[in-house]
């Protein structure tokens, strides 16, 4: 059985993941409006991944016979000056999400809830990847700044990114 503290924190994390999805959808729509179809695609894939993260937490609460309580999603920003600004905001946001995941892990450890600790390992690893991806995108944007052809090629490269369902969801579908 989950402690009340962990149960409440996971419900809050579901909200945070859905807010993240909404943020990335907003970034995707802003990039699309600016004619950055590749950047828009990159953020749309992020949108779908964040929905997966929320679903993993929802499935986990259901498996632990704990109620999922959906909360209102706060408003998100809707405009950025550039792709670089979007990716810098992405890194800052993912660092906040990492802190939230680390807090969940700390609660689970304090509760000696080994099942929850084990489940959270995937998210801890995922956050290392998310922050690394954001850093790579920032570096790429900075590398092509002021170079129209480089920006075009960067955007074209991001258009090729495809969505892959999160491993915990893919495994549960088998």
- pLDDT (tens digit, 9 = 90+) per residue, 83-105? 999 999 999 999 999 999 999 99
Residue ranges covered by each domain of the chain: 4-163
**DSSP secondary-structure letter at 163?**
-
- pLDDT (tens digit, 9 = 90+) per residue, 29-66? 999 999 999 999 999 999 999 999 999 999 999 999 99
For the segment(s) 4-163, the CATH number from 1.20.1260.10, 3.30.450.20, 3.40.50.2300, 1.10.10.10 is 1.20.1260.10
Indicate the burial class of 100 (C-beta count within 10 angstroms; 0-12, 13-18, 19 or more): middle
pLDDT class for 174, splitting at 50, 70, 90?
Answer: low
What does the block give as tokens for 6?
A: 């962990």
Sign of the alpha-carbon torsion through 118, 122, 127, 128? positive
């Amino acid at each position: 059985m989950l402690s009340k503290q962990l149960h409440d924190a996971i419900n809050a994390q579901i909200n945070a993941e859905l807010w993240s999805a909404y943020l990335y959808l907003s970034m995707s729509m802003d990039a699309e409006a600016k004619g950055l179809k590749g950047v828009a695609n990159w953020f749309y894939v992020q949108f779908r991944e964040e929905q997966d993260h929320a679903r993993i937490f929802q499935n986990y609460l259901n498996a632990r016979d704990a109620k999922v309580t959906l909360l209102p999603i706060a408003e998100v920003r809707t405009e950025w000056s550039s792709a670089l600004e979007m990716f810098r905001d992405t890194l800052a946001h993912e660092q906040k999400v990492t802190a939230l995941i680390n807090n969940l892990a700390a609660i689970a450890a304090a509760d000696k809830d080994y099942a929850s600790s084990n489940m959270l390992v995937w998210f801890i690893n995922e956050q290392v990847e998310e922050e690394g991806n954001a850093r790579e995108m920032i570096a790429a944007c900075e590398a092509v700044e002021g170079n129209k052809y480089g920006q075009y090629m960067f955007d074209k490269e991001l258009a090729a990114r495809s969505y892959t369902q999160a491993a915990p969801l893919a495994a549960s579908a088998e």
